[in-house]
Chain A
């Protein structure tokens, strides 16, 4: 009896020992020599793996930086602190990129823009959009089926009364919602800007009025009363030129359809 137990212990110990030695030898002699800077830069990055920089995760971005293929200011979650850390480590000058966040350019929730028909297909914006142009009266506005909210890696997007809203404190500007929105109404805007035209309909005034009670009707009042050049007309749709800071906040009151809002 003792003999069997001893024998078993011996054999398992032997197999374990051989495997262990083989692994240790392999780890020692087959180790891949990586640029030590890659690991160091990777440690400086936030590790969110959001892909906002355009690379497949933080490790990939760190490799690109170490190989000199990428700028160091692409990481939005890390922001200024992360960039200056990397700049200090690599000994290069830091050039700030403006911090941005996503914004849904629509403010017509279910009360303001009614449904044209009852859609009961799968709960996905692309599918709803493909069904006779979507169930919303406004064919340009947010459908509210939450494709953007599902793709958001940090849960910064919520759907409120059929309208997607981005929490800009949480947003890391990875751009995934911009890419997935079938109506292309999510844009990246500077975080510093706080006045926006929340409408994307290029239709003429009467058509917009029919579809939504809060759409931009192209009245040009914001161009007239706002700061010089801060609001520009694109056909019948007012847009904000984010290179010019808005100081005259009375445009919010002036807008007859209340689609110029603070965010």
Chain B
């Protein structure tokens, strides 16, 4: 039950994009076509889950014992996540070419994107255990994917409609994002 609530909280109530406002850049950047959006979602889910697991280990076994967690957290997280994603990219290219073809171009794009770093920092702040951290990373990425796919669907429809000329493009996209965020505010209070 506790885990279920954690997932619901990360996906709906404290959605990374729409209520924490993390990872806005890829949401605005790759939300023009459903096919690229789903590729991005796959990469984000993958990276955020792995990053949560690895940074937990880093924090627990390196930063905390040596008393470095107060001021080296952000720097070391960025360093480790970035090189890990690069490593996965290389390994994937060798051993899973189809997966690499699907996720490959998105992996470098989100190395230590703010949502990825955000999930790691939140994990440490909340003091989650290893499993809980990983689950939270996965759920947060699911929430990100949900927001991205809904937003992409809306943008595809808006592209075919005729908004006033001054609203065309990014302007109407930002208005849409704001409305979507408002809609997700409705989940507030569902889970503490």
Contact = CB atoms under 8 A, between A and B. Distances in A.
Contacts of A12: 72, 75-76, 79
Interface residues of A, number: 19
**Chain B: number of interface residues, binned into ranges:** 20 to 34
A69 to B, nearest CB: 17
Contacts of A27: 90
Given A16-B79, A19-B79, A22-B87, A122 B160 contact: yes
B27 to A, nearest CB: 23
A32 interface: yes
Given A15-B76, A15-B80, A19-B83, A122 B90 contact: no
A26 B93 CA distance: 11
Contacts of A207: none
B25 interface: no
A20 interface: yes
Contacts of B161: 122-123
Nearest to A20: B83
Contact of B162 (A30, A32, A123): A123
Contacts of B75: 12
Contacts of A19: 79-80, 83-84, 87
Contacts of B83: 19-20, 22-23
A241 to B, nearest CB: 38
Contacts of B80: 15, 19
Contacts of B68: 7-8, 11
B163 to A, nearest CB: 11
A224 to B, nearest CB: 46
A180 to B, nearest CB: 13
Given A7-B66, A12-B72, A30 B160 contact: no
Interface string B76-93: 100110011011001101
A32 B83 CA distance: 19
Nearest to A14: B62
A8 B79 CA distance: 14
Interface in B51-109: 62, 66, 68, 71-72, 75-76, 79-80, 83-84, 86-87, 90-91, 93-94, 97
A154 interface: no
Interface in B154-181: 160-162
Contact of A23 (B87, B93, B94, B160): B87
Given A7-B66, A15-B76, A20-B83, A26 B91 contact: yes
Nearest to B159: A150
B79 to A, nearest CB: 6
A15 B61 CA distance: 13
Interface string A24-44: 001100111000000000000
8 contacts: A8-B71, A11-B62, A11-B66, A11-B76, A12-B72, A15-B62, A122-B160, A123-B161
List the 5 shortest-distance A-B pairs measured between CB atoms, nearest first. Answer: A19-B83, A30-B94, A26-B90, A122-B160, A123-B162
Given A7-B66, A11-B66, A31-B94, 16 more contacts: A7-B68, A11-B62, A11-B72, A11-B76, A15-B76, A16-B79, A20-B83, A23-B83, A23-B90, A26-B87, A26-B91, A27-B90, A30-B94, A32-B93, A32-B94, A123-B161
